[in-house]
Structure 1
């Protein structure tokens, strides 16, 4: 666990606590969480970890699914599907399971 992981955990907890304390609308919470995840994605990309950046970016889609008014079954598939895909990309990049296709050897 590095510094950015700690920022992600603390930021998520603060966002959840603030949303619960202020009784915010789900759309507002999803938008705030999506923006937070997008910033984490960009930090990972600039940090040289593109697979993890893609994983965080897919979780932005997960936050966006909350805002969309989808039927229950479609919502469940989209929410769980993007959540699992994001986790697989994040962990695959973290544990070097995914190939380093981003570096050019000369």
Structure 2
């Protein structure tokens, strides 16, 4: 775990506690969570980890699916699908399974 992982864990816990204590609406929680995930995505992109940045960005869409009024089967597919895709991108970027296609070596 690095510094950003600690920030992500603490930020998620703060959002959960704030939601529980303040009894916020789902739209407010989803918007706050999506904004937080988007900032994590940008931090990872600037840190030179584009696969992880893409994984965090996909999780932004997971948070957005909460706000959209989708039918139950569509919601389940969208929520679970983007959640799994984001997790796979994060884990693939971390473990080195996904190749570094982002850097160009000049000769």
Task: Give me the TM-score of the superposition, normalised by structure 2.
Answer: 0.98
2:18 is aligned to 18
CA distance in 1, matches of 2:68, 2:40: 22
1:8-65 CA-to-partner distances (Å, cap 9, x unmatched) read: 0000000010011000000000000000000000000000000000000000000000
CA distance in 2, matches of 1:73, 1:47: 37
Unaligned runs of 5+ in 1: none
1:68-98 CA-to-partner distances (Å, cap 9, x unmatched) read: 0000000000000000000000000001100
- Segments of 4+ moved more than 4 angstroms: none
Unaligned runs of 5+ in 2: none
CA distance in 2, matches of 1:89, 1:103: 18
Task: Give the alignment of 1:1-106 within 5 angstroms.
Answer: 1-106=1-106
CA distance in 2, matches of 1:23, 1:6: 25
